[in-house]
Chains A and B, each alone.
Chain A
Amino acid sequence: MNPLENMALAIDTTDLTVAYHESPVLWDVDFQAPQGVLLAIVGPNGAGKTSLIKAILGLIKPAAGRILVFGQRFRPESRAIGYVPQRGTVDWDFPTNVLDVVMMGRYGQLGWIKRPAKADRQLAMECLEKVGMADFHNRQISQLSGGQQQRVFIARAFIQDAPIYLMDEPFAGVDAATERSIIDLLRELKKKGKTVICVHHDLQTLKDYFEWVMLLNIRRVALGKVNDVLTQGNLRKAYGGRAAFLVGADRQEGANA
């Protein structure tokens, strides 16, 4: 039984292969994300999670394979995907403030020469409000904590107002309260019919946060509803023997299902 049957796909890759210096980081990956779901990409370090996201966005060139977004070849100009990169990939000592960073999400729409106008500022403030960072709009970005940086990045993605969001480890290095507020935001996006795809690390929270999951370890291990996919066999395939202890609880649930 194919869990994806009759579902409209937001993202659909076929035989996607990415390689750096001969060694493949993704191999023949068929990744399908149905529209309007919260989906996690899970796998060990070096499984190719970030590479998959970057390949979908066209940031790295795949060696082979086909990538479709809403059934078409993806062009960044279509603004179909909002992107939240890993926090650590930028220099937070860059001379700018929170509001400015959020407004960068509008730069694609503004066109050349034009500067952000009052309406853009207002929109940016609304997005900051949603992530609970409105009071910080004037703050120099080097003075933000990890969780605050993450929320600024999410606000910057919100302002793009895209139908699909790709987020690279949005929960990495944030405190428990921020993690809860971020997952609330993601659920809100889902309610609005958006497709949210996150690279995720924490197997413990996977079931609570996401309904769909792809287990990845260079190759696709499994893809489907979290409860169907999160079996000990699949986890062992993705992580090797190391993760067996992580799913003690899942064995019983798997047996019940």
Chain B
Amino acid sequence: MAGGPLFWLVLTVRKVRMLEFLQSLTVDYTLRVVMLGAVVLGITAGCLGSFAVLRQQSLLGDAIAHATLPGVGLAFLITQNKSPIVLLAGAAAAGWLGTLFVKVITEATRIKKDAALGIVLSVFFGFGLVIITIVQRLPTATKAGLDKFLFGNAATLLASDVKLMLALSGTVLLLLFLFWKEFKVLVFDHDFAQSLGLKVHRLDILLTSLIVIAIVIGLQTVGVVLMSAMLVAPAASARQWTDRLSIMVLLSAIFGALAGLAGALTSSLVSRMPTGPTIVIYLSVIVAFSLFLAPHRGLWWDWLRTQKNRKRMQTTTMLKNLLLFSEIRTDPFHPHDIAALNAIGRGAINKTMADLQKRGWAKQFQDNRWALTPQGLTMAKQSLEEFEKEILA
């Protein structure tokens, strides 16, 4: 679904022919690296994001992502090394420190969780911006390129970066698989998990660490500012389509991979296009689509159900009203004026009468007068009985 706009953008902005573009996908080494990186990132963030969302920790993901920025800067300042493993280790350490701060603030003081998240997010991020600015001004580091950690730049991904991402992602997903049922019961019912004898504190730390690593994996590509979207949006979308955890995680991974892929490709083909915001645009399409159209939970189906119920209510009410009117006279099929019917009706009378006529339950006479048909009479009596039964039960 993301392919359409992607091709459109590519064709108009770069004026590349479709064929050449498709060829470049299979031949162009850089593009392949970018694609692989984006897919790995999308899958990891999608899987771990499901757990973050179900734990109602979406905002913690945002705080962690922002908190990683000073880690990146400090890691470079201390080591003077810009290899991704050093920078990402710094990011992970800072991200962890951020979560620890949130925990300590909420437990030791009376500050509520949302305020603690806000404090950690803004303080760490502000500190990170200062460090990054200092680093960019150092004569030794003019080309460190740390600013790409802000909004992400998929085009600068190297094969070595992607190898590191793959290794981290493999570890994270393996651990998620191994501790699947423990994480499941931990997220659903923390106290019960503890009463089972599970080591909930360790599991808690492990799950949070996996989320931190999933965030770190995306920093070069998506950036700290919008990384939380990679966690939350695919998971929230996936939740709309299924009632099973395993399928939700799978779908979330697919959504994440699709959006990551489309965003990374778009931004690496269009010059000076930051990847983070581009991915977020694709994610918004997936979110909107899921929010409105997913069966059962989608808003569109909700609306349809309401409409259907309302129509049914109006029709049966009108049937019963016609029955009530017919009981005044000896002839049950005597026509009544529509104004009279409208007076005790429930609105939308013309549509309702048309519906009744279509079903063969009511018949129109001259001067817009209406009467029950024999079938309508049976139906009306039936629905009245059902109604009375419901009331009594």
A residues apposed to B, CB below 8 Å: 21, 54, 57-59, 75-79, 81-83, 85, 89-91, 94-97, 101, 104-105, 107-108, 110, 112-113, 115-116, 140, 142, 156, 160
Q: How far is the CB of A124 from chain B (nearest CB, A)?
A: 13
Q: When the two chains form their complex, are residues A75 and B248 in contact, meaning their CB atoms are under 8 A apart?
A: no
Q: When the two chains form their complex, are residues A107 and B185 in contact, meaning their CB atoms are under 8 A apart?
A: yes
- Please measure, in the bound complex, the distance between the C-alpha atom of A101 and the C-alpha atom of B192, giving whole angstroms: 11
Q: Which residue of B56, B191, B196 contacts A107 across the interface (Cβ within 8 Å)?
A: B196
What range describes how many residues of B lie at the interface?
20 to 34
Q: Which residue of A lies closest to B239 (CB)?
A: A95
Given contacts A59-B195, A108-B197, A110-B181, 20 further A-B contacts (CB under 8 A): A58-B194, A76-B195, A76-B198, A77-B197, A81-B195, A83-B191, A85-B192, A89-B189, A90-B188, A91-B54, A91-B56, A95-B54, A95-B248, A104-B184, A104-B188, A104-B189, A107-B185, A107-B193, A112-B182, A160-B196
Q: How far is the CB of B174 from chain A (nearest CB, A)?
A: 11
- Please measure, in the bound complex, the distance between the C-alpha atom of A101 and the C-alpha atom of B244, giving whole angstroms: 12
A156 — which chain B residues lie within 8 A by C-beta? Answer: 192
Given contacts A76-B196, A113-B178, contact A96 B191 (CB under 8 A): no
Interface residue B187 (Cβ < 8 Å from any Cβ of A): yes
Q: List 13 A-B contacts (CB under 8 A).
A: A83-B195, A89-B189, A90-B189, A91-B54, A91-B56, A95-B243, A96-B244, A97-B244, A104-B188, A108-B198, A110-B181, A115-B181, A140-B243
B187 — which chain A residues lie within 8 A by C-beta? Answer: 94
Interface residue B245 (Cβ < 8 Å from any Cβ of A): yes
- Please measure, in the bound complex, the distance between the C-alpha atom of A248 and the C-alpha atom of B225, giving whole angstroms: 66
- Please measure, in the bound complex, the distance between the C-alpha atom of A105 and the C-alpha atom of B185, giving whole angstroms: 9
Interface residue B242 (Cβ < 8 Å from any Cβ of A): yes
Query: B179, B187, B197: which has the most chain A beta carbons within 10 Å?
Result: B197
A77 — which chain B residues lie within 8 A by C-beta? Answer: 197
- Please measure, in the bound complex, the distance between the C-alpha atom of A21 and the C-alpha atom of B243, giving whole angstroms: 39
- Please measure, in the bound complex, the distance between the C-alpha atom of A130 and the C-alpha atom of B56, giving whole angstroms: 33
Q: Which residue of A lies closest to B296 (CB)?
A: A140
